[in-house]
Amino acid sequence: MNAALVVPRRTLLALGSAVAASAATRAWSQAPALKPHFVAADALDLREVQPPWPADGTLAGEADLNTVLAAQALRSPSDIQAARDDAGNGPQAWLGSALGAEWVSKYAARFMPLLDRVRADLDPYAHVSPHPRRARPSERDARVQPVVAFNHGAYPSARTQSTLVWAEVVGDLHPDVLDRLQAHAARSAWLRVVGGVHYPTDLEGGRRVARAFLARLRASAAYRAERDALR
């Protein structure tokens, strides 16, 4: 074999990661906008919404990792089960865990069609960032033992993003349960750290997207009209 053509495996992996990251960035910036219900797929400029995640080796980056390790050291078997259960819950099951199955059974027929349309508008913003892929805690440090599965990069937390939007939309229709839903969304976010799959700053990245999305959503006349009719 020609020695000039031999490329170290590590170099090949690095080149592959760079190509994949470049393709993901192009897909984020060039994906065609789907017809929205309330918020267009290109309504948010994520470069303005999401700050870069703290780099490995910096004080903030090490604090992020140490928080994951501390949460792992303190988690109990019930914490592990809670992280797994929450990760598998869709919106109705998630709302049921917050408010009870009886409450959801009573009101789901009213709010789920609206929530499904909101979720469709939110979906293009899931697992998307203008920044390079962030390694999950266990990919960065072998001491981290995740107890829930993951498929994408760590930043931002799509679960944090989704549950906050679910909480706020249902809370728009039922203000009396908004506080409980917001607390449950915060719990879901923290369980991602307990589960070993996110850093605390990943949660904040998800919250920033959710808040920006909710501001656009509530500015939509179509959303406000449907929300007010359902109220």
Convert the pLDDT of each residue in 60-102 to its tens digit.
999 999 999 999 999 999 999 999 999 999 999 999 999 999 9
**So what's the pLDDT on residue 231?**
86
At 163 the pLDDT is 98
CB atoms within 10 A of CB 7: 9
Name the band, by pLDDT with cuts 50, 70 and 90, for residue 34. low
Separation CA 161–CA 204 (nearest Å): 9
Residue 165 contacts residue 116 (beta carbons within 8 Å): no
Radius of gyration of the chain from Cα atoms?
20
Per-domain residue ranges of the chain: 33-230
The 10 Å Cβ neighbour count of residue 192 is 29
| Least confident among 16-25, 107-116, 121-130 | 16-25
Mean pLDDT rounded to a whole number for the chain = 89
What count of other Cβ atoms lies within 10 Å of the Cβ of residue 89? 16
Tokens for 144, please give them: 């981290």
Query: How far apart are alpha carbons 19 and 11 in whole angstroms?
Result: 12
Given this structure, which CATH class describes domain 33-230? mainly alpha
- Say what percent of the chain tops pLDDT 90: 84
Give the model confidence (pLDDT) of 174-213 as tens digits: 999 999 999 999 999 999 999 999 999 999 999 999 999 9
One-letter identity of residue 27 = A
> Would you state the pLDDT for residue 22?
42
Buried b (16+ CB within 10 A) or exposed e, 53-86: bbeeeeeebeebbeebeebbeebeeebbebbeeb
Length of the chain: 231
Whether the pTM exceeds 0.75: the reply is yes
Q: Is 179 exposed, middle or buried (0-12, 13-18, 19+ CB in 10 A)?
A: exposed
Q: Is the pLDDT of residue 15 over 50?
A: no
Looking at residue 77, its pLDDT comes to: 98
Confidence check: pLDDT of 23 > 70: no
CB-CB contact of 164 with 190 (8 Å): no
* 3-state class (DSSP) for residue 208: helix
Lowest mean per-residue pLDDT among 12-21, 73-82, 133-142, 166-175: 12-21
Return phi, psi of residue 39, to 5°. -130, 125
The model's pLDDT over 216-229, given as tens digits with 9 standing for 90+, comes to 999 999 999 999 99
User: DSSP code of 52?
Assistant: P
CA-based torsion, 27, 34, 150, 57: positive or negative? positive
Output the DSSP codes for 137-187. Answer: HHHH-TT---SS---S-SSS-HHHHHHHHHHHHHHHH-GGGHHHHHHHHHH
Residue type, 168: E
